[in-house]
Structures are given as structure tokens and as C-alpha cells.
Amino acid sequence: MNEEYSSITRDKTTLELNSQGGDRLIDVAVPLPIYTVLTYILSGHSICPLKGARVLVPVGRRNMVGVAWGTPTEKPPSVNLKSVKRILDKRPLLPESLISFLEWTSSYYFYPIGQVIAEALPPGLLSARNRRIDKINGGLPNSRDCRPEFLPWSTESSWQLTEEQEIVFNAVCNALATKSYHPILVHGVTGSGKTEVYLQAAKQCVGQNRSVLILVPEIAMTTQIAGWFISRFRDEVTVLHSGLTEAQRRDQWFRIKKGESRIVIGTRSAIFAPLHNIGLIIVDEEHDPSYKQSEKFRYQARDMALLRGRMSDATVILGSATPSVSSFNNAISGRYQLITMGKRVAKRSLPSVVVVDRRKKGEKEQQHKSETIRPEWLSKELQEAIKATLAKGEQVLLFLNRRGFATYVFCPDCGYVFRCPHCEVTLTWHRSDKRTNSEKDGVLRCHYCGMESTALPVCPECMGQSVKAFGYGTEKIAADLQEIFPNARIARLDRDTVKARRHMEKIVLDFRNGDLDILVGTQMITKGHDFPCLTLVGILCADLSLNFPEYHATERTFQLLAQVAGRAGRGEQPGRVIIQTWLPNHFVLDCATTHDFNAFYQKESKLRKTLGYPPFGRLINLRFSGRKKAQVCDTAGNIAKLAKKLAAGIKGDGGSHVEVLGPAPSPRAKIKDRYRWQILLKSSSLSKLRALCTILLSRKAEIVPSSVRMEVDVDPHSLL
């Protein structure tokens, strides 16, 4: 992001006193969807808050907690300015380095600075309720320790590095010694020992009296990686993510700010941790789409890690067995240092992969009458493999990126499909709330707005009572397995089963310790987990993600297949992977079965370059939503007309120009009672895209009605 970093200026002016009629003036950033700061008078206050300190100010008819953000650069208009009511912090709550970082991200992502600050701070620090202000004024009360508990996963004090690990470690040490920005892409196959390199690199960095930030894509992964780091660094480690309670998140945040912890592990929001003197940033599983926030402040934490590393003169490690196409392109073009780890530790082999062609329909008819009919999702090959694996006392992992018991419910009499009244999606049947096999139990749930209704009722259209459920999710897989293998210890790992952090940790630890035989899960189980006794992985439907209307659908499919396959055979016994698919000849399957990332990259990058998609082009998506369909459509149309007119006037250099695609309804055209339209801006020049977007936002007030929400998604990952 070097070009963008240099093209966006940041105000580093310290707070100076200004005057208007003898009163001192101050700019305050408030957490509202406005792109400017608000100016207030500091009358009656003997001290002047420094930039980054919280203040209580009136906004309209209510009071809000904002953050002091300097003094006005221009003379305010001749209006009656309101006064700051209360200064909450004697010293800045936000460190100076973090302030610069937040200003840059606000500018780059076209997101209001007050709302960026609200995202960066732990919950409650910008609450205007008096009781909460008193509670958090000056920090947290010392009455109790709010730190979350994480158990260490190993008692080993040091490990002998392999030859490949040593190469990576030496490269990191050399980079740390320069104390300058140095990005490294570590392309290491699953099981190659990247975590041990991270641990020893962190030790080297802490030895230089500098801080370490480790990002992981999912909360589920913090259990394992936090356990490894706590086993080595004990109280030096702090964990930061949304799965903690509000009190725990504030406690952890203040420990970091006070310098009591120099190693921070967390999900994407941890990129805003108030660390001092950062020397090393590690982005594990850097390819993962979870690093991109999909709502409100749509930042990409991996890209922000590179920016923060540059601003801190730090070494940044991006690690993955399946790097993103963008990161790998940056590496082979020389922007990042590329280091490859092609072997697993202890000379363990990569798992063998078998593709089962599900297009062969004859196998059901060929089953003997005495043989139990297998469920639709289970092939004969996978069933026999599960049986053999359990007989040897080894473990099985089954992956299906779809939760619930059935994916949709309909009436065969009239064809009515049960859909969410608030979203244009089918409802998923969840049966796990009741321990019974009756199809009249459970709930129908929308996975977008959370709406629930009684499962499988009488058809509301024809009053028929023949309502049926079709499709399958992880819940049905687990239920079927329990019938087929009644003595097996089976668990699920998906969003429905891990609402509590402790429950999620227990499932992961139980499977790692051998207390479970079969684990069924969604993409949560594909990322970074190390299960020594796992020898069989079954991928139930390898084609699901290929059918998404996204330019990177093939990339996402390859990553999922390769990552989940990589969970097998990481212990003493060799691993085996069975992939069930209806598209056995797709090149993604060929590359995944041979563990050949380079072949995949060559084919995928050639296609992307032809179409001008990232990393060979840049995108900005303009999203419009509102409760009135016609109004949203008209607004998107008006903005599109203006955008096309402006784009025609932007001169292209070397063939670069701005394409305006749309407007068009979003593939998910209605979510939570809001209709959705979008316009895609596409160009090989980010500066031209930004120039066009800046003009459009300046005209927003006159074109976009208040009832329509217009949002900007820079570098969008999903267009759904």
C-alpha cells in the first residue's frame, strides 16, 4: 500500500490554543456519520485537553463523548459555538502513533474519523451515560481482575528448528535488526512449522524491548495460538477480540496501553491495539477473508497491518499455506520478501487426496437390500474410510461450509418456499434445540437477520401439511453420523455451537486431546488448528463456494480445500483426504489434490489480468440501501449517471480509465428489511478511483436522500 500511504497526508499538528473573542477553540471528533470534526469553546476550563483525550460535548439535544482532535485550521463561521461540558482525560487516551494510523485509515476507507475512533476503542469508552463515564474515567477500577483465562498448550521451553524454519527465522532476525519496515511473505505448506517460527521471532523482538502484534482470522484460532504463546511468554501475552466481555476487553486494552503487555494476540480489531514501539507484526493465515470487515467500517486488517508496520518501522510477516493472489503477486514482483517452506516438520508427508465423483448415480441402486441406505451426503468411499479410521482409534474431521439441519423448507403441494420476511433468502431448519427425531421440532432461522419461527408448520399458502425439508448442513451431518456410528464421540464446530468462548475452546481442546472421535464443522475448522491424531479429512461438497457470484470464487475454493486438507496427518500417522464433488474436472480440484499452489496461481492470475480484477486492477463498491425499493433504485441510478459523466472527464494514462459498472441490485437484494443496490467502480489507477469517489461523496447531500444509506467499500472482498 505504498502508493496510497504516500498520497494521503496526515495532520500531526499538536494542539495549540486558538481564540475567538477571548475563548479558546477546540475540534472534537464525535462517533457520528459525519466526515468533519465539530468545533467547540473551552470556556471555563483551566486546562486544555491534548489531542486524543476524551471530552463530553453537546451534540444537538444530547451529550456525547468525543475525542479532542486539534484546533480549527480555519476561522469558524460566525455562529454560536457550544462549550465543552467536561474534560474526561488529563492525558491522551490514544497514543500519538495510533492517532496517525486512525487518521490514515479514515481517509483511505472514506469512513468518518469519529466512527473510526469508536471502532478502535474498547466498548463503553465513548458512552455518555454518567455512571459509565464515572466508572471508566481515568481507566478501570482496581477492585477485580477482568483478565480472561487462557491455558498454555505446551510446557516445552524451546524447539529445534528445521532447515527451512531456520531460513525463515534468520530472515526475520535480519529484518528486525534493521529496525525498518520489512514485509515478508512466508509461503509454508500446512504443517511446515510456521507457528514455531512465530514464537522464536517474537522472542527475538521482545529481546529488543519492542512489541509484537499477532493477528489471526477467527476467534476459534486464538485458543490454540494464545496457548502456545502463553506457554513461552506467560504474562507478557494479552488477548484482544470481540468474544471477550466488555470488562475484559477494556482491561486488556488498558494493560496494553500502560505497557504491561508487549505481545498482543487477536482478530482483525486487534490491529487498533495501543501498542508502543512495535517491532514485529504477524498476520497468520493472511489469505483469510475474515480479515476484511463486511459491515460499517469495511477495513482490511491484513492491509492495515502492513501500513501499521510501515508507520512503526516494523517487520511484518504474512504467513499462509495458500497465500492470497494479491499477496503472492506482491511477493514475486519484489514488494515483499518471499520465503517458501515446502516440507512438513519431522519429514511428515502431505496427506494423500482422493476425489470422489458424485455424478455417478448408480451406486444407490446397486446397494444390496440388506445394506443400510446411506444418507445423500455420504459416499461409499467416505463411509468405509470413516469406519476404518475409527477402528484404528484415529480421528475424523468432516468439512461442510453450511450450518443447520436442512437448507430450505417447502410445500410439495403448492411449491411455497419458506423465506425470511425481512430478507430475500430461504430459512434454514435448525433442529438441535430439542433432543428428538421428530421433523416438527426446532426452528426456522434466517442467517442474516436472526429471525426465527416454528419449524415445519402448516403451509401458509395452501394450508397443506406435507411440508418437507431439503438440503443438509453440519447439524444434519452430525445427527446422521450418530446413527451410523452410535459409539463414536461426535461434536460440531460452527457458529451455532460456539456462541460462548469457553464452549468453543472446550471443543477444540477435546478434539486435540483425543476426547472426540469425529468433528464436523464449517470454515472454522479449516484455519491453523493442529490435531496430532487426525488422519482422515472428508470434504463433503467441494463445489459450494465455486458457485458464488464473486470474481475470487475459485481462489476461495482452492484455499478452503487446501487448508482443510492440511489438517490431516500432522502427527505420527499419515493423513488421508477424501473430496466429494460434482465437478471433478475443475482445475481447482486438480491443484488442490496435488497441493500445487503455483499452478493455481498461474491459471488464476492469468484470468484476473485479462479481466482487470485485483491485483491487476482496483475496485471501489458503492452500496445503497433503504426501506423503499423504488427510492433506493432511483438514488443508485442518479449516482451512476453522475459517476459515468465524471469518469468520462478523467483522463486515462497509459490506457487507465475508470469503469462504472451498474447500478444493479445486490445479489442479496434485501437484508433486514432494507433493499440493496450497488455500483462498482473499476480501474487500474487507485488515484483515479479515489478522485471520482471523493467528488461523489461531496455531492452526496444533494443527491442521496436521508432515508437512503450510501456506503463506500474500498477494496471490496465480497460483492454480495
Predicted local confidence at residue 328, as pLDDT? 97
- Does the residue 158 lie in any domain? no
Residues 265-304, buried b or exposed e (16+ Cβ, 10 A)?
A: bbbbbbbbbbbeebbbbbbbbbbbbbbbbeeebbbbbbbb
Q: End of a domain among 437, 471, 505?
A: 471
The span from the first CA to the last CA of the chain, in angstroms, equals 25
- Does the residue 62 lie in any domain? yes
Predicted local confidence at residue 124, as pLDDT? 85
DSSP 8-state assignment for residue 280: E
pLDDT tens per residue, range 612-646: 999 999 999 999 999 999 999 999 999 999 999 99
Same domain, 263 and 312: yes
Mean pLDDT, residues 57-72 taken together: 91
Indicate which CATH number applies to the domain containing 29.
3.40.1440.60
Predicted local confidence at residue 439, as pLDDT? 44
pLDDT at 693 > cutoff 90: yes
Same domain, 387 and 522: yes
- Does the residue 651 lie in any domain? yes
Cα 671 to its chain centre, rounded Å, is 20
Q: End of a domain among 434, 450, 471?
A: 471
pLDDT at 120 > cutoff 50: yes
Same domain, 311 and 393: no
Q: How far apart are CA 429 and CA 407, in angstroms?
A: 6
* Sequence letter at residue 257: K
**Which residue, among 26, 113, 39, has the nearest Cα to 77 in the 3D structure?**
39
Contact (CB, 8 A) for 580 and 358: yes
Mean pLDDT, residues 23-44 taken together: 89
Predicted local confidence at residue 445, as pLDDT? 87
pLDDT at 12 > cutoff 50: no
pLDDT tens per residue, range 505-528: 788 888 888 999 999 988 877 776
Mean pLDDT, residues 106-134 taken together: 85
Indicate which CATH number applies to the domain containing 630.
3.30.70.600
Same domain, 249 and 338: yes
Indicate which CATH number applies to the domain containing 293.
3.40.50.300
* Sequence letter at residue 177: A
Question: Rounded to a whole number, what is the largest CA-CA distance in the chain?
Answer: 96
Predicted local confidence at residue 150, as pLDDT? 64
Same domain, 329 and 251: yes
Predicted local confidence at residue 500, as pLDDT? 57
Residues 209-235, buried b or exposed e (16+ Cβ, 10 A)?
A: ebbbbbbbbbbbbbbbbbbbbbbbbee
Same domain, 318 and 169: yes
Same domain, 314 and 458: no
Predicted local confidence at residue 314, as pLDDT? 98
3-class DSSP state of 260: coil
**Mean pLDDT, the chain, integer:** 85
Q: End of a domain among 579, 610, 641?
A: 610
Same domain, 387 and 486: yes
Predicted local confidence at residue 366, as pLDDT? 47
Mean pLDDT, residues 92-110 taken together: 94
- Does the residue 369 lie in any domain? no
pLDDT tens per residue, range 159-201: 789 999 999 999 999 999 999 999 999 999 888 889 999 999 9
Predicted local confidence at residue 531, as pLDDT? 84
Same domain, 379 and 524: yes
Same domain, 321 and 211: yes
Q: How far apart are CA 80 and CA 428, in angstroms?
A: 55
Higher pLDDT, 49 or 500: 49
pLDDT tens per residue, range 522-566: 887 777 677 889 999 999 988 888 877 788 889 999 998 888 888
Same domain, 335 and 220: yes
- Does the residue 144 lie in any domain? no
Mean pLDDT, residues 264-274 taken together: 95
- Does the residue 154 lie in any domain? no
pLDDT tens per residue, range 278-327: 999 999 999 999 999 988 999 999 999 999 999 999 999 999 999 999 99
pLDDT at 13 > cutoff 60: no
pLDDT tens per residue, range 220-263: 778 788 888 988 898 899 999 888 888 889 889 999 999 999 99
Could you list the residue range(s) of the whole structural domain that residue 698 is in?
618-714
Share of the chain above pLDDT 70, in %: 87
Segment among 17-26, 572-581, 640-649, 658-667 with least mean pLDDT:
17-26
Same domain, 328 and 425: no
Four-residue CA torsion sign, 172, 174, 178, 180: negative
Neighbouring C-alpha atoms within 13 Å toward the C-beta of 535: 17
- Does the residue 441 lie in any domain? yes
DSSP output for 451-487: -EEESS---TTT--S--EEE---HHHHHHHHHHHSTT
Look up the pTM and report it.
0.88
pLDDT tens per residue, range 428-449: 888 764 433 444 467 888 888 8
Backbone angles phi, psi at 132, to 5 degrees: -70, -40
Share of the chain above pLDDT 90, in %: 52
pLDDT at 133 > cutoff 70: no
Domain count, the chain: 5
- Does the residue 720 lie in any domain? no
Q: How far apart are CA 215 and CA 703, in angstroms?
A: 40
